[in-house]
Amino acid sequence: MTTTTTGIRAVPAVGTAHTRVEGRDKVTGAARYAAEIPFTELAHGWLVLSTVTRGRVSSVEDGPVLDMPGVLAVLHHGNAPRVDTDYVGMLGMPPDPTIAVFQHDRVPHAGWPVALVVAETSEQAREAAEALVVHYEEETHDVTFAGEHPDAYSVPGPGGPAVTEKGDLEAELAASAVVLDAEYTTPEEHHNSMEPHAATALWDGGRLEVVDSNQGTIWVAAELASLFSLDPASVHVRSEHVGGGFGSKGVRAHQVAAVMAATILSRPVRVVMTRRQMFSLAGYRSPTTQRVRLGADAEGRLLALEHSCLSLTSTVHEFIESGAGVARVMYDAPAHHTANRVVRLDVPSPTFMRAPGEAPGSFALESALDELAEKLGIDPIELRTRNEPAVGPVSGLPFSTRNLPACFEEGARRFGWADRDPRPGVRREGRWLIGTGTAAASFFVGAMPSTAAATAEADGTFTVRINAADIGTGARTALTLVAADALEVPTDRVHVRIGDSDFGPAMIAGGSMGTRSWAWAVTAAAAELRERLALSDGIPPEGITVRSDTTAAVGALAQKERHSFGAQFAEVAVDVSTGEVRVRRMLGMFAAGRIINPLTARGQFTGGMIWGISMALHEEAVRDRNTGALYGADLAGYHVASNADVPLVEADWVDDSDPDDPVGIKGIGEIGIVGAAAAIANAVWHATGVRHRNLPIRPDRVITAGPHV
Amino acid sequence: MKEFGYQRALDVSGALALLDADPDARFLGGGTNLVDLMKTGVERPGRLVDVRELPLDRIETTEDGGLRIGATVSNSDLAAHPDVRRRYPALTQAVLAGASGQLRNMATVGGNLLQRTRCGYFADVTKPCNKRDPGSGCPAIKGEHHNHAILGASDHCVATHPSDLGVALTAFDAVVTYETADGPGELPLADFYLPVGDTPHLETALPQGALITGVVLPPAPVAANSRYRKVRERASYAFAIGSIAAALDVQDGVVREVRLAFGAVASRPWRARAAEAALLGGPVDAAAFAAAADAELAAARPLPHNGYKVTLMRNLVVAVLSELAEEAAR
């Protein structure tokens, strides 16, 4: 028996910068990602995707392919095991039928999985997959997303109801001194994470083992158990390191195909998506067409606010990009209408992508506020300040905290906003026109029930097990700091283990809720462990372990409007003769709860803001209406900001500890991108005097829009 | 992917023999384009003959005062060479405007000239493409083409040539030298790329089995006052949507010599001879530059979504010639 001590920390770890605990492993290559972990007898599966956009598979000529070197099996709808899709998943949604691969002959979109070729090597599998001849009965398709589609319908989204309405919109618009009515569009956007989706499946002692790259092992394990009608305890999913997720890494076709093949072949099977396949199989953000109507009195007080958002989904699954939800949080008006609508087209299913709803919604609403400020002759920040709501505009609930004005005040001071000349198109440096812009940001925050285990080891260290996922955010490190403070020990005595479905239920890395949900459970377990240690005489060799479950505590949270807020600032240079737009500097000030690790938090904020640069200027998946497929579906064709596009991006925050959270956390995962594109678009207007309402602000659009040289 | 053989050639005759021995063989330079195309299945060689170790990696001054650039000189070495920087600055600027540092370290001069279009239909083997699969059709004409050709294209193909280097070389009258089993040969870069017509899959006039050994730049004093400007959809690591190589010599307020070549507007680097003719002997002002651009772009046949390139190229001609005129006046 040994003894251990807690309560020896004078300085809290939370709030101090800490490099990633696994940082050295990652930069030296010691950290292994899902597709790098070796297995004996490993076979490799390669997905074959449909080359037509709508129709039926009439035949799969697997015979010649089975004779190719190394080929072990060809799975397709004629021979694949059946799966069950009649269930509701962990996030309260039925599964996207796209994951139920090879169950029927229908092809509902280009890039639909039609077969898996399994071979001894990855190269053999790929060669055979590319040689596999699949015959189709092709049907006409409709992939054209336009502002008005006769089949569009209203539907509730992940974030709330389809439609909210109060007041008489037309009457208030008629009574307004100034009215703005504008349409904004955002394109199809993809979260193509650095690490492709990859999974290895095998059966081991009656258990299904899956080594994967995902945003929640319990999430994936539960869905695989449902799909294959297995006892959830007999499915074990691990996901140690994840090279980006952004909403795309749940259950996808590759894991399901790998499990099928591993079951048939009785050996480990790995399936990795190619970059090009990710553009069809990993989900994406729907394009949006949004209409915003604003009416205000002469002092800028909103009398009418209408925000409607049309997005698309596939014919097999309903996912809503609820861009109109942002107005339900940000601004109130006597007449306040919001509506999310969707149209089903012959396209892959969209999904959650960083700041779903708010990212495109804030582009439209925050551009519209800027346009209204211009019409009123009121400073854009002042206009927002005059329209700060006291309670939730739709819910009427109080805000947990709403420190948006503080973000604007401090951001404006640091950015030098007070010196800004409001006139557009009057600042020139050589061939460049210069402008600045701002926009507000918000994103829902919350907590979900989670469990954790904390162990006092006999050697004086502590092990915390929680089924968290570190998808590059720094979650493992943040939880180490939280656990160290809760245990009142230095961080080097705490080992946090994550990414293992055997650790029990926990929130996924998603919805800006991971760290808060996990930290709550870790704090609870640590507190109880300290109590146990205080009563114990020493630590037995197996250690002392306590478990926590936050279901009751989280369920007891009062109903409130709970959001992170932020103020985005951007300065741009525009050459209207060549259409080039360059962001010169950005500043984001956030009120996003207590910040656990300033180092990684800053990375998340600036990462989101840089993604906002991409969204404003670069990102656009081009769907060819004739073929129904994407054009240029790779990272040469789909542009994101390069280093040269990102000169100076700063993020900081104001004090905003959440009084209802044991650690004071809100959530920072998504808010960095919210409002960023609007701030840039508003700056482009300030530089040129021309308003760009369609993203991305491409050179050809700038050249065409003017002002003409 | 398809299994392939790999052999490294040590001398030019050996390289030619290795290629000749296998009808399915291809030369491999830096591999920065060919290997990508092999991964996507656009190229399926049975054998690669690596020519990067051939003794063609020198840059030398020719007897008449031009430059001879070996085919295996890396893009990085070319851009950094003092004679190139001083005598042909647009060449250095063009190379540095392309790709990334890592790619430029690998990519060769010969390979740069032979790189394939970045048209997204060409790169996607599930789609028709007359260049990749003759007779299958061109989906770009009625599909996505906002970065396709406005000059010299045909009803069979509207793809553009992606090279930056080639645009500057074209402006400076470069000559491509090559070796075949039957002996050496040379082709002015202006004649190196074939017209698109109804054979977009036939891209160059190089004889079958020929190996590019280098590029010769004739002496061109005008090139000392030259510039390359590239416009793209992000600040780095993207192909041009329009680019220009220009050189200008002004004496007594009159254009004495001028070179203009456009990139990203045609299936080959586009020498703007009509614009040059309009400028020669004329005044040095924005109106004259714009009129010259219009003379060249009168031949443009934009598609529904790439008409902006006409405006872009016109603006680039005026902007870059104005900058060069200002520098010449200093």
Which residue segments constitute the domains of chain A, with CATH numbers given? 23-31+448-555 (3.30.365.10), 38-353 (3.30.365.10), 357-446+557-709 (3.30.365.10)
Q: Which residue of B has its CA nearest to A621?
A: B144
Q: How far is B294 from chain A (nearest CA, A)?
A: 15
Which residues on chain B are in Cβ contact (under 8 Å) with A637?
118, 120, 123
User: Rounded to an integer, what is the distance from CA A576 to the centroid of its chain?
Assistant: 33
Q: Is A572's pLDDT higher than 50?
A: yes
Task: Evaluate whether A525 touches A455 at the Cβ level (below 8 Å).
Answer: no
Instruction: Report which of A25, A14, A122, A119 is spatially closest to residue A66, judged by C-alpha positions.
Output: A119
Residue extents of the structural domains in chain B: 5-50, 222-329
Is domain B222-329 given the CATH code 1.10.10.10 in the classification? no
Q: What is the largest CA-CA distance in chain B?
A: 64
User: Rounded to an integer, what is the distance from CA A425 to the centroid of its chain?
Assistant: 35
Mean pLDDT over B209-232 rounds to 97
* The pLDDT value given to residue A6: 59
Q: Which residue of A has its CA nearest to B147?
A: A700
Token pair 């943040």 is at which residue? A478
Q: Which residue of B has its CA nearest to A634?
A: B120
Selected residue of B4, B100, B121, B124 to mutate for chain A interface (largest A Cβ count, 10 A): B124
Say if the Cβ atoms of B319 and A577 lie within 8 Å.
yes
Q: How far apart are CA A276 and CA A111, in angstroms?
A: 9
Catalytic residues of A: 670
Which residues on chain A are in Cβ contact (under 8 Å) with B142?
626
Length of chain A: 709
Which pLDDT tens digit goes with each residue over A534-546? Answer: 999 899 999 999 9
* The pLDDT value given to residue A10: 60
Which pLDDT tens digit goes with each residue over B292-329? Answer: 999 999 999 999 999 999 999 999 999 999 999 998 88
Say if the Cβ atoms of A642 and B233 lie within 8 Å.
no
Neighbouring C-beta atoms of residue A67, cutoff 10 Å: 9
Say if the Cβ atoms of A127 and B40 lie within 8 Å.
no
Task: Evaluate whether A627 touches A619 at the Cβ level (below 8 Å).
Answer: no
Structure tokens at A700: 């050809």
Q: How far is A578 from chain B (nearest CA, A)?
A: 6
Amino acid in the structure at residue B21: A
* The pLDDT value given to residue B2: 87
pLDDT-derived band at A1 (thresholds 50, 70, 90) equals: very low
Burial class (CB in 10 A: 0-12, 13-18, 19+), A377: exposed
| B237 contact A CB<8A | yes
- Pairing type for strands A198-204 and A269-272 reads antiparallel
Q: How far apart are CA A365 and CA A636, in angstroms?
A: 31
| B233 contact A CB<8A | yes
Report the mean per-residue pLDDT for chain B: 97
| B238 contact A CB<8A | yes
Which pLDDT tens digit goes with each residue over A77-120? Answer: 999 999 999 999 888 888 999 999 999 999 999 999 999 999 99
Q: Is A3's pLDDT higher than 60?
A: no
Task: Evaluate whether A412 touches A440 at the Cβ level (below 8 Å).
Answer: no
Provide the 3-class DSSP secondary structure of residue A245: coil
User: Which one of B40, B142, B232 has the shortest CB-CB distance to A626?
Assistant: B142
Q: How far is B279 from chain A (nearest CA, A)?
A: 21
The share of chain A scoring above pLDDT 90, in percent, equals 95
Selected residue of A126, A627, A643 to mutate for chain B interface (largest B Cβ count, 10 A): A627
Which residues on chain A are in Cβ contact (under 8 Å) with B233?
617-618, 639, 698-699
* The pLDDT value given to residue A7: 56
Q: How far is A626 from chain B (nearest CA, A)?
A: 7
| B208 contact A CB<8A | no
Task: Evaluate whether A438 touches A410 at the Cβ level (below 8 Å).
Answer: no
Q: How far is B312 from chain A (nearest CA, A)?
A: 6
Which pLDDT tens digit goes with each residue over A181-207? Answer: 999 999 999 999 999 999 999 999 999
DSSP state of A391: B
Say if the Cβ atoms of A127 and B1 lie within 8 Å.
yes
Selected residue of B126, B158, B244, B305 to mutate for chain A interface (largest A Cβ count, 10 A): B126
| B102 contact A CB<8A | no
Complex ipTM, two decimals? 0.96
Report CA-CA distances (Å) from B300 to B93, B152, B310, B313: 26, 8, 7, 11
Say if the Cβ atoms of A631 and B308 lie within 8 Å.
no
Q: Which helix (H) or strand (E) holds A55?
A: strand A55-61
Which pLDDT tens digit goes with each residue over A153-174? Answer: 998 866 678 999 999 999 999 9
Neighbouring C-beta atoms of residue A700, cutoff 10 Å: 20
pLDDT-derived band at A706 (thresholds 50, 70, 90) equals: confident
Q: Which residue of A has its CA nearest to B146?
A: A700
Q: How far apart are CA A454 and CA A532, in angstroms?
A: 11
Say if the Cβ atoms of B118 and A636 lie within 8 Å.
yes
* Residue burial A228-242, b: 16+ Cβ < 10 Å; e: rest: beeeeeebbbbbbbb
Instruction: Report which of A422, A38, A476 is spatially closest to residue A241, judged by C-alpha positions.
Output: A476
Residues with Cβ < 8 Å from B263, sequence gap 6 or more? B160, B161, B163, B164, B166, B167, B230, B240, B242, B243, B244, B245, B269, B270
* The pLDDT value given to residue A159: 67
* The pLDDT value given to residue A155: 84
Q: How far apart are CA B258 and CA B243, in angstroms?
A: 17
DSSP state of A298: T
| B46 contact A CB<8A | no
Which pLDDT tens digit goes with each residue over B138-160? Answer: 999 999 999 999 999 999 999 99
Instruction: Report which of B237, B288, B282, B285 is spatially closest to residue B255, judged by C-alpha positions.
Output: B282
* The pLDDT value given to residue A2: 47
Task: Evaluate whether B318 touches B279 at the Cβ level (below 8 Å).
Answer: no
Q: Tell me the DSSP string of B131-144.
A: TTSTTS--TTTTS-
Which residues 124-153 on chain B approach chain A with CB closer than 8 angstroms? 124-127, 139, 142-144, 146
Token pair 């200093």 is at which residue? B330
Q: Which alpha helices (DSSP H) does A51-159 contain, by range?
A: 62-66, 122-131
* The pLDDT value given to residue B326: 93
Q: How far apart are CA B294 and CA B302, in angstroms?
A: 14
Say if the Cβ atoms of A632 and B319 lie within 8 Å.
no
Report the mean per-residue pLDDT for chain A: 96
Which residues on chain B are in Cβ contact (under 8 Å) with A642?
234-238
Instruction: Report which of A658, A695, A628 is spatially closest to residue A139, judged by C-alpha positions.
Output: A628
Q: Is B330's pLDDT higher than 80?
A: no
Instruction: Report which of A688, A639, A581, A641 is spatially closest to residue A187, judged by C-alpha positions.
Output: A639
Amino acid in the structure at residue A101: V
Q: Is A684's pLDDT higher than 50?
A: yes
Which residues on chain B are in Cβ contact (under 8 Å) with A130?
1, 41, 125
Q: Is A709's pLDDT higher than 90?
A: no
Which residues 178-207 on chain B approach chain A with CB closer than 8 angstroms? none
Length of chain B: 330
Q: Which helix (H) or strand (E) holds B104?
A: helix B101-106
Q: How far apart are CA B294 and CA B310, in angstroms?
A: 9
Report CA-CA distances (Å) from A703 to A698, A706, B231, B329: 9, 6, 12, 30
Which residues on chain A are in Cβ contact (under 8 Å) with B320?
none
Which pLDDT tens digit goes with each residue over B57-75? Answer: 999 999 999 999 999 999 9
Q: What is the 3-state secondary structure (H, E, C) of A142-208?
A: CCCCCCCCCCCEECCECCECCEEEECCHHHHHHHCCEEEEEEEEECEECCCCCCCCEEEEEEECCEE
pLDDT-derived band at A708 (thresholds 50, 70, 90) equals: confident
Whether the upstream peptide bond of residue A696 has omega within 30° of 0, thus cis, is yes
Q: Which residue of A has its CA nearest to B126?
A: A51
Structure tokens at B300: 């443009």
Which pLDDT tens digit goes with each residue over A17-68? Answer: 999 999 999 999 999 999 999 999 999 999 999 999 999 999 999 999 999 9
Selected residue of A71, A130, A624 to mutate for chain B interface (largest B Cβ count, 10 A): A624
Q: Which alpha helices (DSSP H) does A499-635 contain, by range?
A: 514-535, 551-555, 598-617
Q: Is B250's pLDDT higher than 90?
A: yes
Neighbouring C-beta atoms of residue B253, cutoff 10 Å: 10
Q: Is A148's pLDDT higher than 90?
A: no
Would you state the CATH architecture of domain B5-50?
Answer: 2-Layer Sandwich (3.30)
Provide the 3-class DSSP secondary structure of residue A423: coil
Amino acid in the structure at residue A264: I
Report CA-CA distances (Å) from A642 to A610, A614, A645, B33: 10, 9, 5, 20
Structure tokens at B199: 């054979």
| Residues forming a β-bridge with A184 | A290
Say if the Cβ atoms of A618 and B233 lie within 8 Å.
yes
Structure tokens at B278: 């309009």
Neighbouring C-beta atoms of residue B326, cutoff 10 Å: 11
Mean pLDDT over A294-322 rounds to 97
User: Rounded to an integer, what is the distance from CA B317 to the centroid of its chain?
Assistant: 18
Residues with Cβ < 8 Å from A180, sequence gap 6 or more? A292, A293, A294, A295, A368, A371, A372, A375
Which residues of A lie inside 8 Å of B (Cβ-Cβ)? 51, 123, 126-127, 130, 276, 431, 577-580, 582, 617-618, 622, 624-627, 629, 631-634, 636-637, 639, 641-645, 698-700, 703-704, 709
User: Which one of A618, A625, A634 has the shortest CB-CB distance to B234?
Assistant: A618
* A-B C-beta contacts closer than 8 Å: 100
